[in-house]
Structure 1
Amino acid sequence: MCEITTFTVQKMDSKANNYIKESCQLCNAPNPSLQHILSSCKTALTQGRYRWRHDRVLRKLAEILEVRRAETARERLSQTSRRPIHFVREGGGAPIHQRSPQDPALSRQFEWILRVDLDRQLRFPTEITTTNLRPDIILWSATAQTTVILAELTVPWEGGMGAAFERKKDRYLDLTAECREAGWAAVSYPVEVGCRGFVGASTQRFLKNMGVTGPKLRKALKDLAEEAEQGSFWLWLRRKDQVWGKQGNINEGWLPADDPAATRNGTVGGAASRNAQQAVTCLCYHH
């Protein structure tokens, strides 16, 4: 995140005022604001630009959850290897483990399966229920078949995060109820990461409930924010390019040479690229 000086803000504000006197190069909307460019242009939406940024953030969120899922697997094996022997009185029953309120939802008591709606169309697990809905993330306990966790990500303009939360919560109410009717303990998490890098409280709460805490949580939030910022930076740079997709050098599983992820990894870039990214970041936080 850039350090914003008074001079820098005034300079970026001047550039923004000059730009909004033009029409949007994609949809011809008059006086396009930063909000229009990053989240409200219908042509950008139709072309999949916002979906591309959404999937960048979703991929990072999936990586964070996969690390946590692997941790629970190791914890489960370690716990099994040193599990104490409980002696039971004659006629008595074996003790039953009860999950305490402090235990994370992604408990090490179960073996978890993770599916993410990336690269190819996600199909909801038929062993849970049948639906045409496609949550961004599905986690369910494979062995005990007791718990299913749904998560739906939105990368909106920060002013619309509350509305996005309510909209996605309502969308998955029926599916959550169907899972419960089928005998599963189901919970749905709408999560938001603002397109300018502000991570919503819903996302922090979700990760904490999954057992991501302390320094790992802080790093996860920082990584998610950077993915959103980098995606918006790229959309800003391409705001006047009418071609998008394969012809515009955006394709699944491949990054163009000047994509911000490639720049971040050090493969390309320079002073001009860094200055452009600093400019859009300052614009994002000034408006």
Structure 2
Amino acid sequence: MRVDLDRRLASPERIRSGSLRPDILIWSTQGKKMVTVELTVPWEERCCHLAGYAWMEDGPLCVKMHSNSVNWDTAKTLCEQDHGRLAILDNAKLHQAYFNYGGDGYRDAAWIGVTDQDTEGSWVWLNGADLNTSYWSFVQLNNYDGYLPDKFNADCAATGGYGGIIDLHCLKTKPFICQRIDLE
């Protein structure tokens, strides 16, 4: 028995004509038989729920709403400690899935994974994608929060309720939304 631990995904020379790349391939040169085994998870939403997250199939999106209020950096760290990230709603489908889901808790202001901390006015998601505001119901990214003493330094974004996005001072405390992309 040979095992491909280097993950080269190489089929034996005698069986190279197919396009399958199964997880397990068992073959017998003497009996001229081959068995392929594909390891899959038939119900991804179960994995999401088992991790304590909510599964939104129309995204697909696997998120958890945290009702405790923390600042943006703490929210980012807490999501990472839970094997996730602050939620990234970087396309219309994910945005719609998120705002269609659940009750008012998902519609109130909550930290998400987009910021303009690096360059003022250049909003970038934590995955590196630029913010596209075309699918947000309202956009309030005006660098003004009213958070004293630094009210003109709103560099972190939150959901603004009912499909909107707003900028807030990163030290302000808000609930936050974590996302598990590994379970989507």
Q: TM-score, normalised by structure 2?
A: 0.27
Q: Indicate the structure with greater strand content.
A: 2
Of structures 1 and 2, the one scoring higher in RCO (CA 8 A, sep 6+) is 2
